[in-house]
């Protein structure tokens, strides 16, 4: 392998729409490469009536959370806060922002399993030079006591106004919380971040997937939860009940990351097989396998601004991996292809693509077709207010036990992967394969995250270096 001093790093790259250029690079607080330390990026916008609404750029390095203006080229962040932990070593693994009326809008998950709820506005008001965050509440779920305690995703429920959030753990558990129960109701409008004494950290619902989780993301409308697993499966769940609604199996190894398209019709998934796979919710099967990375894919993100939205059925996807490369892909939706999505199941060839898997070959692998009328019979678990009896199958097949599980007193249930709903792994010779329209090494160290905005693409690596790439014409 070439020494890092001889690695050629790009400061600009070309795409069909023009040239992207390096806007700025942030190296504050960078550390030596460690795969267990994964820098993630979040964009936050506070209420326009605020003194400084942003947008704000939030990213982590180890146990530090850095906050700076999105468009600033200053090297040092405005705030660099050290998050406390229940045990050491411990690092930040994920974070999420959603504007809310009570101001408690920032979630931060840790590798020890703890989750902190903060007010971004309160952090911005801290004295200059302060490195101690003002935390509203810290959740210490049972995961803190488990072996795989790591929190892999914190998710605000879309359209909830910051009232509900989900937490996914590497152990396979997913918890749903009502924020007002966790932080307590504010005693007055002047006590931001100071809840009443009535607090309840009991989750609304608890789901157990019986396999390790690597990532999770909610659809834009909040009706679907995509979860990538160590067993190589992508599972589409109903976040209110835990029912499995669909999914697919990887070609090889675990899936590592996922992202919904802007219209919620597709999920892009990266994995240890070095591929980005696009799964269609309507098609209930993968519509594209994207080959170009030379190592595991770390993060994927749809770019809704590349083609003016998805009206033409063309989706731009950005992906980064352990090969320190970013790849860009233009993937055609099945509805945008000649003959529609059904032809893909019949194995019709596409220009420039390999043949798709045939219906017969998939049925031989156990796939029962795209019509999933019994999806609601596959129940993971129930929580408060969701009786398990309401989710059990009314007429399970003869000689086949029900896959529903009665919730225990703690509201925890389990689910084995339903093979009839998970699209089987497609042989490589039968994949619909795309090649990247751009692939370049953009960092010295392996990349950990990519985030796309209207004007910029942000990339981050495992050492904590963050780079911003300005779109053509901006």
Give the model's pLDDT for residue 370.
45
Q: Is 5 helix (H, G, I), strand (E, B) or coil?
A: helix
Among 70-79, 320-329, 347-356, top mean pLDDT goes to 320-329
Q: H/E element holding 20?
A: strand 18-26
Q: Are 340 and 471 in contact (CB under 8 A)?
A: no
In order of 147, 154, 225, the CA distances from 171 in angstroms are 8, 14, 17
Q: Is 11 helix (H, G, I), strand (E, B) or coil?
A: coil
First to last CA, the chain: 37
The residue whose two tokens read 């019994």 is 374
Give the model's pLDDT for residue 411.
42
- The predicted-structure confidence for 72-98, as pLDDT tens digits, reads as follows 777 789 999 999 988 888 999 999 999
Bridge pairing between strands 285-291 and 433-434? parallel
Give the model's pLDDT for residue 337.
56
- The predicted-structure confidence for 167-211, as pLDDT tens digits, reads as follows 999 999 999 999 999 998 655 443 344 444 457 788 999 999 999
Give me the residues paired with residue 164 across strands. Answer: 178
Q: Which residue would you say has higher pLDDT here, 359 or 279? A: 279
When the pLDDT of each residue in the chain is averaged and rounded to a whole number, the result is 81
- On the question of pLDDT at 364 being above 70, the answer is no
The three-point CA angle 403-404-410 to 5° equals: 135
Q: Which residue would you say has higher pLDDT here, 285 or 473? A: 285
pLDDT band, very low/low/confident/very high, at 375 (cuts 50, 70, 90): very low
- On the question of pLDDT at 365 being above 60, the answer is no
> What is the Cα–Cα distance from 449 to 90, expressed in whole angstroms?
19
C-beta neighbour count of 432 within 10 angstroms: 24
pLDDT band, very low/low/confident/very high, at 415 (cuts 50, 70, 90): low
Average pLDDT, integer, range 25-33: 89
Give the model's pLDDT for residue 309.
62
Q: Which residue would you say has higher pLDDT here, 54 or 173? A: 173
- On the question of pLDDT at 371 being above 60, the answer is no
62-66, long-range: CB within 8 Å, 24+ apart, which pairs? Answer: 62/29, 62/31, 62/37, 62/91, 62/92, 62/464, 63/90, 63/91, 63/92, 64/29, 64/92, 65/92, 65/95, 65/108, 65/133, 66/26, 66/28, 66/29
Average pLDDT, integer, range 140-163: 86
- CB neighbour burial string for 394-424, b if at least 16 within 10 angstroms, e if fewer: eeeeeeeeebbbebeeebbbebebbeebbbb
Residue 274 token pair: 């070095």
- On the question of pLDDT at 357 being above 70, the answer is no
pLDDT band, very low/low/confident/very high, at 154 (cuts 50, 70, 90): very high
- On the question of pLDDT at 373 being above 70, the answer is no
- On the question of pLDDT at 3 being above 50, the answer is yes
Give the model's pLDDT for residue 146.
67
- Chain-centre distance for alpha carbon 29: 25
The ranges assigned to domains in the chain are 11-184+199-391+403-470
- On the question of pLDDT at 356 being above 50, the answer is no
CB contact set of 305 (below 8 Å; sequence gap of 6+)? 452, 454, 471
Question: In CATH, what number does 11-184+199-391+403-470 get?
Answer: 2.130.10.10
Average pLDDT, integer, range 4-11: 75
- The predicted-structure confidence for 206-264, as pLDDT tens digits, reads as follows 999 999 999 999 999 999 999 999 999 999 999 999 999 999 999 999 999 999 999 99
Give the model's pLDDT for residue 284.
95
Among 51-65, 183-197, 291-305, 327-341, top mean pLDDT goes to 291-305
């Amino acid at each position: 392998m070439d020494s890092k001093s001889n690695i050629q790093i790009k400061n600009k790259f070309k795409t069909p729409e023009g040239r992207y250029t390096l806007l700025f690079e942030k190296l504050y607080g960078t550390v030596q490469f460690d795969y267990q330390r994964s820098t993630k990026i979040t964009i936050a916008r506070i209420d326009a009536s605020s003194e400084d609404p942003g947008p704000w750029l939030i990213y982590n390095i180890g146990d530090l959370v850095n906050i700076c203006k999105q468009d600033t080229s200053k090297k040092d962040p405005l705030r660099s806060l050290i998050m406390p932990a229940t045990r050491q070593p411990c690092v930040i693994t994920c974070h999420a922002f959603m504007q809310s009326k009570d101001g408690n809008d920032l979630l931060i998950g840790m590798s020890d399993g703890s989750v902190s709820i903060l007010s971004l506005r309160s952090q911005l008001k801290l004295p200059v030079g302060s490195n101690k965050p003002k935390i509203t509440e810290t959740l210490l779920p049972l995961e803190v006591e488990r072996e795989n305690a790591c929190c892999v995703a914190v998710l605000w429920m879309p359209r909830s106004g910051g009232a509900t959030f989900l937490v996914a753990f590497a152990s396979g558990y997913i918890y749903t919380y009502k924020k007002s129960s966790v932080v307590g109701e504010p005693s007055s409008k002047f006590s931001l971040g100071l809840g009443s004494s009535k607090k309840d950290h009991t989750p609304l619902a608890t789901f157990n997937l019986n396999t390790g989780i690597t990532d999770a993301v909610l659809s834009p409308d909040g009706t679907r939860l995509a979860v990538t697993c160590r067993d190589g499966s992508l599972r589409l769940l109903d976040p209110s009940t835990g029912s499995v609604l669909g999914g697919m199996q990887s070609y090889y190894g675990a899936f590592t990351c996922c992202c919904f398209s802007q219209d919620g019709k597709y999920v892009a998934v990266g994995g240890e097989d070095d591929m980005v796979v696009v799964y269609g919710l309507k098609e209930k099967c993968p519509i594209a396998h994207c080959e170009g990375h030379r190592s595991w894919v770390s993060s994927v993100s749809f770019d809704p601004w590349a083609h003016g939205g998805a009206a033409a059925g063309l989706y731009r996807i950005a992906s980064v991996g352990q090969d320190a490369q970013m790849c860009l892909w233009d993937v055609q939706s099945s509805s945008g292809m000649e003959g529609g999505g059904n032809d893909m199941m019949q194995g019709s060839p596409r220009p420039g693509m390999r043949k798709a898997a045939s219906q017969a070959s998939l049925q031989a692998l156990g796939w029962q077709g795209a019509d999933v009328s019994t999806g609601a019979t596959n129940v993971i678990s129930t929580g408060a207010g969701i009786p398990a009896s309401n989710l059990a199958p009314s007429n399970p097949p003869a000689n086949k036990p029900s896959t529903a599980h009665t919730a225990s007193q703690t509201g925890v249930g389990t689910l084995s992967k339903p093979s009839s709903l998970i699209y089987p792994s497609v042989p490589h010779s039968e994949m619909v394969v795309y090649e990247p329209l751009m692939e370049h090494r953009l960092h010295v160290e392996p990349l950990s995250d990519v985030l796309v905005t209207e004007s910029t693409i942000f990339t981050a690596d495992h050492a904590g270096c963050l780079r911003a790439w300005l779109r053509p014409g901006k």
